[in-house]
Amino acid sequence: MKHRCCLHYIDNEAARCGLIKGYSPGRDNAFLNHLFWVEEGRPLCFTWFDRVPSPSNIADPPSRGESPPPLVCGLETRVCREVPVPPGLQEGWARQWRVYAELKGAH
């Protein structure tokens, strides 16, 4: 993804605005925004966020535990594949989240 354009379509206006600004007044959302930008900055890609309503969002069914619909591209139909999370990434996020939760509990 280095030096490539990366489009993110989001069906939640508050999440979209928080990611664009890199800030959220809510602590949990601010922390998640921070995690996103740490990971997003590594490949040095060009990021763009746009709004998409839930019925048009291909990521909406998987977020509800359903299979994504097939995509129709011209005359071809394509089925989305699951993209695995790189090993260790979730564990790193979990460690950061625990530290954050401990700090939040101390306040």
Instruction: List the domain boundaries for the chain.
Output: 5-106
> In the predicted model, what is the mean pLDDT of residues 58-62?
77
pLDDT digits (tens, 9 = 90+) for 74-102: 667 666 666 677 778 778 878 887 887 78
C-beta of residue 53 within 8 angstroms of C-beta of residue 16: no
What are the DSSP E strand ranges found in the chain?
5-10, 46-51, 71-73, 76-78
Name the one residue in this structure whose structure tokens are 């997003």: 40
pLDDT digits (tens, 9 = 90+) for 32-57: 888 888 888 777 888 888 888 877 77
- Asked whether the whole model's pTM tops 0.85, one would answer no
